[in-house]
Amino acid sequence: MIQSGTWIVRLMMLSALCMAVPSIEAQTLRTTDVPFRPDIRALGMGGAYVAAGRNGSAFLYNPALLVQSHTDVSIPFSLGTDDTARDLFKFIFDNKDSLSKFADLTSAGQQKLYDGITPFDGEKTRLRISPMFNIVMRNFGISAYGLVRAGVGIDKGIFEPRIQADGRSDIVVTIGAANYITPKLAIGGNAKIVNSRFTSFDVRATEAETVTVGTVIDSLRKSNSGFAADVGALYRLSGKTTLGFAIQDIYGKVGNAKYPVNVKAGIAWRSSRLTLAADLTDILNKDGVSVFNRVFMGGELSLPFIQIRSGFYQGYPTAGAGINLKFIKLDYAYYRKEFSRRPGLDGRGQHEIQGKIGWGW
C-alpha cells in the first residue's frame, strides 16, 4: 500500500527531473523565453549591463564588451527562486494528507483546503539552477552553462486540486570575440550552440502517485539542438562614458523553435569606485509589452572586498551585494520581474544567489 505523502516525494522528483532534462515544442519564443543566463551583478544593478559589463559573463549581454573584460577563469554556480517558493512548498507539505485524500474530506474540510490554495491558485513558483564555466580574456571568451528552470504549482481544479509541474533545460556553449576598429568603436560577435528540452505535467492531487520516475524519463527522451548568433558594438564617448548596442539572436533556431531578434542599447558611466548604467531591451518590441517593462537601470559601488548594488528592474527596486575574497566570490540579488504586459500588475519577487570559484571578477 502506498504510504501517505509518497506522491509529494514523487512531485519533488518530477520537478528535479523536469529541471534536469526537459523537449521543446515547435514555436516562436518570446525574448524572455530564449535561454539566457542573467549575470547576478547585473540583476543587483537593475539588470543594466549592455554597456557596463566587465566580468566573465558580460559578453553574453553584448559581445563587444570583451574589449574591456577582465581575465576570468572561473566556475560560477547560481540558484534562484520566486519569493513564494517557501510558502508553496510548506503548504503542500503541511497538507499532503488532505490533498491525497481529498475525496474523503468533509465539505468544510474541502473548503478549508481550497481557501488555503487561493494564494497559489494557478501560479507556478519558479526554481532555477545554473552552473557555468568561463574562460575569458581581453578580446576573447568562451562560456558554457546550463540553465535549468522548473515550475511547480497547485490549482483548485474543477472537481479536486491539481498538481502542476513543468521544466525546461538548456545547455549553451558561447564563443565570443571583439576588437576595436577605431580608437573609440569596438565590435564583436558571439556564436552559440544550444541544446534544449521541455516537459510538462498536470495531474489530480489524488493521482499524483501515478506519476513515476519512468513516466517522467519517457517524456524527456527527445531534445533539440540548434545555433544562434549575437553581434554588438561599444562606443566610447569619453574616458568615463560608453554606449553599448547589441542584437541578441540576430539568428537563432533550435529544432523548430525560432528565437526572436532582441535589439538592445545601453549607456554606462564609470569612475574608480562607482558604475552607473541604463538599458533599453527589445527595442523592436517583439513581445508586445509596455516600454517600461523593457527599461533597466542601476549602479554599483565597489569597495575593498565588497560591492553594493541597487537599481530599478522594470520599475521595481533591486538590491544586491557581493563579497570578493580573491578566489572565492559570493553574490546575492533581489529583484521583481513583471509577468504582465504593463508595469505594476504582476511583479513577482526573485532571489538569486551565486558562488564563484576561480580567478577574475
pLDDT digits (tens, 9 = 90+) for 105-140: 999 988 999 899 998 887 888 899 999 999 999 999
Q: Tell me whether residue 157 is in a domain.
A: yes
Closest listed residue to residue 301, CA positions, set 291, 293, 309, 313? 309
Block residue for cell numbers 491539481: 162
Q: Tell me whether residue 39 is in a domain.
A: yes
Q: What is the mean pLDDT of residues 254-280?
A: 96
Q: What is the pTM of this model?
A: 0.85
Q: Tell me whether residue 74 is in a domain.
A: yes
* Model pLDDT, residue 329: 95
- pLDDT confidence tier of residue 89, bands split at 50, 70 and 90: confident
Helix (H, G, I), strand (E, B) or coil at 73: strand
- Which tens digits make up the pLDDT trace of 189-202? 999 999 998 877 77
- pLDDT confidence tier of residue 103, bands split at 50, 70 and 90: confident
- pLDDT confidence tier of residue 221, bands split at 50, 70 and 90: low
Q: Are the C-beta atoms of residues 305 and 325 closer than 8 Å to each other?
A: yes
User: Which structural domain range is residue 343 located in?
Assistant: 6-359
* Angstrom distance (rounded) from CA 148 to CA 127: 8
* Angstrom distance (rounded) from CA 60 to CA 31: 14
- Which tens digits make up the pLDDT trace of 314-351? 999 999 999 998 899 999 999 999 989 998 889 999 99
Q: Give me the number of domains the chain comprises.
A: 1
Block residue for cell numbers 507539505: 93
- pLDDT confidence tier of residue 356, bands split at 50, 70 and 90: very high
Closest listed residue to residue 98, CA positions, set 189, 178, 7? 7
Q: What is the mean pLDDT of residues 195-223?
A: 69
Q: Tell me whether residue 352 is in a domain.
A: yes
Q: Tell me whether residue 72 is in a domain.
A: yes
* Model pLDDT, residue 184: 97
Q: Tell me whether residue 1 is in a domain.
A: no
The amino acid present at 360, given as its one-letter code, is G
C-alpha cell at position 230: 549575437
Question: Could you say which DSSP state residue 6 is in?
Answer: H
Q: With 60 as the cut, is the pLDDT of residue 26 above it? A: no
- Alpha-carbon distance values, 175 to 64, 139, 227, 229, 248 (Å): 12, 11, 12, 10, 14
Q: With 50 as the cut, is the pLDDT of residue 251 above it? A: yes
* Angstrom distance (rounded) from CA 2 to CA 244: 58
- Alpha-carbon distance values, 108 to 95, 102, 155, 207 (Å): 15, 12, 18, 22
- Which tens digits make up the pLDDT trace of 132-178? 999 999 999 999 999 988 888 888 888 888 888 888 889 999 999 99
Helix (H, G, I), strand (E, B) or coil at 219: helix
* Angstrom distance (rounded) from CA 277 to CA 244: 10
For residue 89, the domain's CATH number is: 2.40.160.40
- How many other C-beta atoms lie within 10 A of the C-beta of residue 355? 13
Q: With 60 as the cut, is the pLDDT of residue 215 above it? A: no
Q: Is 65 exposed, middle or buried (0-12, 13-18, 19+ CB in 10 A)?
A: buried
> Which residues, in sequence order, are CB contacts of 340 under 8 Å at separation 6+?
346
Closest listed residue to residue 69, CA positions, set 53, 80, 81, 84? 53
Q: Tell me whether residue 43 is in a domain.
A: yes
